[in-house]
Structure 1
Amino acid sequence: MTLTALVMVASLGLNVGILAFSTVAAKAGLVFDAVTGVTSTFTDLQKKAAVKDARIVSLTDEVASLKKGPSVTYRGEKRLVKEAVGDTAERVSKRTAIAATRNAGSIVAEAIPYLGIAAIIGVTAWDLKDSCDTMIDLHELDLTFNPDKALDPEATEVCGMKLPSSEEVWADVKTNAADYWRRASDYLPDLPDFEWPSLSDLVFWD
């Protein structure tokens, strides 16, 4: 028998011996416990090893969780903080991009005398809805960190706004145009002074 073969046989025998000893020691420890009512040293070691293994598993799970980041309850689901923030940012960004395109594309329609009022009301209605949805999205994100916080009263006010009809707007234009123009100039300081256009200035088509 070669030296390598002898070493392999010896190693195998040693492993079998260790396994047999452990098994015998475990059984002996159980018998000792049952007969004497005193916990054996081997049984104590086994229990401590089990507790240690459980602690290692627990710490491993905690480390894995910390690597992922803290989690919160967002829209009724457990989500990572970065996922909650990312979802809110994506919602608001998409809505803002759509609103910008919508407003830019409706400028000419809004400028048509009288008929443009319907376009203005339609676009404004969408803008109000977008503002309401954005406030609600931000509130949902706020709730992940402040679960008891109520919806901002301003959000409730915006979400509850009702727009006038085209006829109501036109009636106000005929009677209170200058007043509304001055109000608008508070938000748009570059607006020119109000002056009713003359019929010669109103060119609908060539």
Structure 2
Amino acid sequence: MGIAFQQELEPKSRSSSLWKRMKNIFLLSSLLGLLSFNIATLINDKLHTAAFNVLGSVLGDTLGSAFSDQILSDSPTVTRRHDVEVKTKKLTKEKMELVKDKDTLTKNNTALKEKYTKLKTESAKRSDAVQKASKRMAYRSTAGATRNIASLPGEAIPVLGTALIIGVTTWDIYDLCENLKDLNELNGVFEHQLEDLDKVCGMKVPTKEHVMAEARENWQEAYRTAADQINQIKETVPKTPPIMTWDEIKEEIKEVYFDFF
């Protein structure tokens, strides 16, 4: 009977020992699997995210979304998502500011280009006006200086020289009037106040008869008036003429212009 009982216990003992081994193997495999899975989730970001999503879904279905969110609130994935959202918002704001600054700079650049083009056109216009006016004025100045020097001997001829003086003076007034017109043209280009042309262009040159009459009536006063105008900047002629009669003047110039007397 003892032998029969012992034979009955041996299969049970073997079955229990096999179950314990299988249980140990299962536990060890589970631990190794969990360990490997943890290492994998730490190394592989995609696997970690997928595992987090599965865990969140399971906890949400089991415990409710509010409770599961509270449990997972301190997880690295949630923290990382929060950081990403904060940085994304910051970058989006900075991007919008940069776009706004870019638009402002573009508008300013366009305005500067338009202003530069306008200034360039105005500068070219002014440069052209100055060049043309300066050439005309230079020509008149040269011609006037040549004319005045060349006419000096003829102007010194008694009586006959008066007509030459009036002719040269008429040309001088004309040139000065034209110069003033050129100056007003430049003033218009540079948006300056215009000069009064009538001050020069409106002057009338007296006739030969009028000049001779003034000289005969009071030649000393005529001399002083001319001397005052000539000496405005620097005294180049005596302020008063020598005390001489008209006959004395004629006698004085006989030696030079004896053919006239």
| TM-score bucket (shorter structure) | 0.5 to 0.7
The equivalences for 1:141-160 within 5 A come to 141-146=186-191, 149=193, 151-153=194-196, 155-160=197-202
Aligned-partner Cα distance in 2 for 1:108–1:97:
19
Give 1:152 deviation, angstroms: 2.0
What is the root-mean-square deviation of aligned Cα atoms in Å?
2.9
**5+ residue gaps, structure 2:** 1-105
Aligned-partner Cα distance in 2 for 1:116–1:152:
34
Give 1:68 deviation, angstroms: 11
Which of these residues, 118, 121, 134, is aligned with residue 89 of structure 1?
134
Give the 4+ runs in structure 1 shifted more than 4 A: 65-69
Deviates more, 1:156-165 or 1:127-136: 156-165
Give 1:167 deviation, angstroms: 1.0
Aligned-partner Cα distance in 2 for 1:92–1:198:
40
Match of 1:127 in 2: 172
Aligned-partner Cα distance in 1 for 2:152–2:175:
18
Match of 1:80 in 2: 125
Match of 2:257 in 1: 204
Give 1:70 deviation, angstroms: 2.3
Aligned-partner Cα distance in 2 for 1:200–1:130:
35
Which amino acid counterpart does residue 95 of structure 1 have in structure 2?
A: R
Aligned-partner Cα distance in 2 for 1:67–1:105:
49
Which amino acid counterpart does residue 144 of structure 1 have in structure 2?
A: V
CA offset digits 1:54-78 (Å, max 9, x no partner): x9xx97xx59x95996223xxxxx9
Are 1:132 and 1:158, in contact at CA under 8 Å, matched by a contact in 2? Answer: yes
Residues 200 and 144 of structure 1: CA distance in aligned 2, closer, same or farther (over 3 Å): closer
SS of 2:257's equivalent in the other structure is coil
**5+ residue gaps, structure 1:** 1-54, 73-77
Which of these residues, 141, 166, 185, is aligned with residue 227 of structure 2?
185
Which amino acid counterpart does residue 150 of structure 2 have in structure 1?
A: G
Greater relative contact order, per chain length (Cα 8 Å cut-off, separation 6+): 1
Deviates more, 1:167-176 or 1:120-129: 167-176
Identity, % of aligned pairs? Answer: 35
* Normalised TM-score (structure 1): 0.59
Are 1:70 and 1:81, in contact at CA under 8 Å, matched by a contact in 2? Answer: no
Match of 1:43 in 2: none
Which amino acid counterpart does residue 253 of structure 2 have in structure 1?
A: D
Aligned-partner Cα distance in 2 for 1:198–1:114:
11
Give 1:80 deviation, angstroms: 2.8
Are 1:69 and 1:80, in contact at CA under 8 Å, matched by a contact in 2? Answer: no
